[in-house]
Amino acid sequence: MNISIQTVHFDADKKLLEFVQKKLDKLETFHDRITKVEVYLKLESLAHTIKEKVVEIKIHIPKQDCFVKASATSFQTAFDHAFDSITNQLKKKKERIAA
């Protein structure tokens, strides 16, 4: 499984990158044919002072891809929401294959 974490409009600290990597390592328990995972951590301005933290996760599986986008006031919260959504998608895809 190839993992790519990219930051847009900021430089992520080591703690955030370790948090994301630790969570992503758990993905193989939900689906065993994942070939590539792309994570984008973005800062988007809503108003002049408010910065929204956006997380996008794209997972490549042979013949199928999963994508989810979540936003919150912190990257950890946004990533948790996105991770929960993507794991649900993976579980459903795996159930369809098994059925």
Question: Among 19, 65, 10, which Cα is nearest to 41's?
Answer: 10
User: Residue for token digits 């912190």?
Assistant: 74
Domain 2-98: which topology? Double Stranded RNA Binding Domain (3.30.160)
Q: Is the pLDDT of residue 21 over 70?
A: yes
**Domain residues of the chain, as ranges?**
2-98
Tell me which of 76 and 97 has the higher pLDDT: 76
| Per-residue confidence band for 95, with pLDDT thresholds at 50, 70 and 90 | confident
The per-residue pLDDT of the chain, averaged, comes to 90
User: Residue for token digits 């408010």?
Assistant: 50
Q: Is the pLDDT of residue 62 over 90?
A: no
Q: What is the pTM of this model?
A: 0.90
| Six token digits for residue 72 | 């919150």
pLDDT recorded at residue 13: 92
Q: What is the mean pLDDT of residues 71-90?
A: 94
